[in-house]
Amino acid sequence: MNTSTTFQEIAAEIQLFDNFEQKEQFIFVVGALVSRIISLHKAAEVMEMDTEMFLKILELMGIDFSYLTTEDIDREKNW
């Protein structure tokens, strides 16, 4: 299987951005964000977006994002 072809096919599915480079960058940034390698602020900066706008895009795409642990979330819900 050709990995670059597969990656291009995946990136093509992201309808939010016009060009492949933006799509590729978004996939990379989201991966780094959920892996806690970069902050939400840095992710938005790399994508040249306002932090609130980037967070809204994640929400609209159904990408759950939180730096809280599962235990923190449970505590917050029951507080």
Q: Any idea which residue has 């819900």 for tokens?
A: 77
> Using one digit for the tens of pLDDT, what is the confidence trace for 48-57?
999 999 988 8
User: Whole-prediction pTM value?
Assistant: 0.67
- Specify the 3-state DSSP secondary structure of 15: coil
> Using one digit for the tens of pLDDT, what is the confidence trace for 15-63?
667 787 887 888 899 998 888 788 888 999 999 999 999 988 898 888 8
Dump the DSSP string for 42-68. HHHHHTTS-HHHHHHHHHHTT----SS
Domain map of the chain by residue range? 3-77
pLDDT at 76 over 70: no
CB 57 within 8 Å of CB 48: no
